[in-house]
Structure 1
Amino acid sequence: MESIMVFFVAISPFLYKLYEYIPGATGDSVSFLGITITSHGFADVSTFIWFMMGKIVPLYLLIFWFLTVKNWWYHIILIPIAMYAFQIFEVLYNYDNDIDTENLLWLLPICIIIIPFVYFLRIKLYDKYVLGIDLEAIEAELDELKAKGYSSEKTDLSSEFKDVANQKEISDKNISTGTLENFLKNIQDRIQGWLHLKF
């Protein structure tokens, strides 16, 4: 499978220029390898093939990327895949003279599903690996506390947390007082150095 993907990635520039290699593609239709290709409203078959290869080549490259990428955000690649697929569908099955017009409305439901999914996945990963918030570990710890007999109605835990908070507040005051004393001592030392005074 990987060899096939590598092969198609390697020949993608040649597939994009396929319109130059089909003989007789300047008319309204051409038979190539037993397949009849019409212009589908374009000026000629060559222009139609050029347009289609401009959609098909990025489409299959994006599909290969989607199938092989290992990043957490790979679901977002489905949006450009759907965009190219809708553009190809519109050219093949729409018989008016306008192209690449309505596919944005077709993409809207896909965007509404995929973008929030990727965003919530990002939030979960950011919380776990950047902020260190592991919801499963917190849930396990809460279950363990419930198993020991603690509940939200009891105040034992809240009093313990209040004691810890009070100790932290006292230590913060000591740190800030110590920092202020050091700052004033440094100012006193500088003034003494300037005036060459000794106390």
Structure 2
Amino acid sequence: MKRNLESSSQTVNKRLSRSAIVGTIIATIIVSTPLLYSLHESVPSVKVWDTFLFTYDSGFWEEAQYAMWVYTSKLIPLILLTIWFFTCRHWWYHALLVPIIMYAFQSINSWNSEAGRLDEGTFVILLPILVLIVPSIYLIRAKMFNKINNVDKTLEELEEEFMIKPKGIWKKLKQYF
């Protein structure tokens, strides 16, 4: 009996330890976003940026500092939205896929030095995703309000019922693939 209690205590401590580590990493990323966003200010305003690690040719962007500003303005919101998506416990969290895919598309486009018009074609890419996500969110909402009218549950209890609670990030990823 004593061994079972010690074993379950160690398992709980390992879960808490892992949760604390993941939470610390996520919090550090979120807190450091203003610093990451302002990193472009340390890049020189030249076409070719030489460092001891690499040489960056800004190409289409004409200035390395401007190129880094474009990259950070696309990647920082993408990182924050992705964190929000994987940590959100509300029934509507699938709606976050739309801006995530938009920023991912724009980030990929911004790396293409021949991209004359950066945001061109975003709607065409987002349209199939919107066709899937918007009706599914509406159906979940309609199902919730149908249950509200038929059952004496609060909105919070219904949100709890519709919440998907995977045990970790990998299980949450597996649920989509």
TM-score, length of structure 2 as denominator length: 0.68
What amino acid is aligned across from residue 48 of structure 1 in structure 2? A
Q: Which residue of the other structure, out of 26, 29, 42, is the alignment partner of 2:61?
A: 42
Q: Which residue of the other structure, out of 77, 101, 109, is the alignment partner of 1:58?
A: 77
Shift of 1:11: 0.7
The 5-angstrom pairing of residues 130-145 of structure 1 reads: 130-132=148-150
Cα distance in 2, alignment partners of residues 94 and 38 from structure 1: 10
Percent identity between matched residues is 31
Shift of 1:75: 0.2
Shift of 1:9: 0.5
Q: Is the 8 A contact 1:27 1:45 kept in 2?
A: yes
Note the residue ranges of structure 2 that are not aligned, 5 or more in a row: 1-21, 153-177
Q: Is the 8 A contact 1:26 1:46 kept in 2?
A: yes
TM-score, length of structure 1 as denominator length: 0.61
Q: Is the 8 A contact 2:82 2:100 kept in 1?
A: yes
Instruction: Look at both structures and tell me which one has the larger radius of gyration over its CA atoms.
Output: 1
The number of equivalent residue pairs is 131
Q: Is the 8 A contact 2:59 2:113 kept in 1?
A: no
Cα distance in 1, alignment partners of residues 24 and 71 from structure 2: 24
Shift of 1:77: 0.3
1:10 corresponds to: 31
Cα distance in 2, alignment partners of residues 108 and 126 from structure 1: 27
Note the residue ranges of structure 1 that are not aligned, 5 or more in a row: 135-199
Cα distance in 2, alignment partners of residues 120 and 62 from structure 1: 23
2:139 paired with 1:120: yes
Backbone CA RMSD of aligned residues: 1.8
Greater RCO, CA 8 A, separation 6+: 2
1:172 corresponds to: none
Moved over 3 A (4+): none
Shift of 1:35: 3.7
Cα distance in 2, alignment partners of residues 33 and 57 from structure 1: 25
Distance 1:94 1:113, change over 3 A: farther
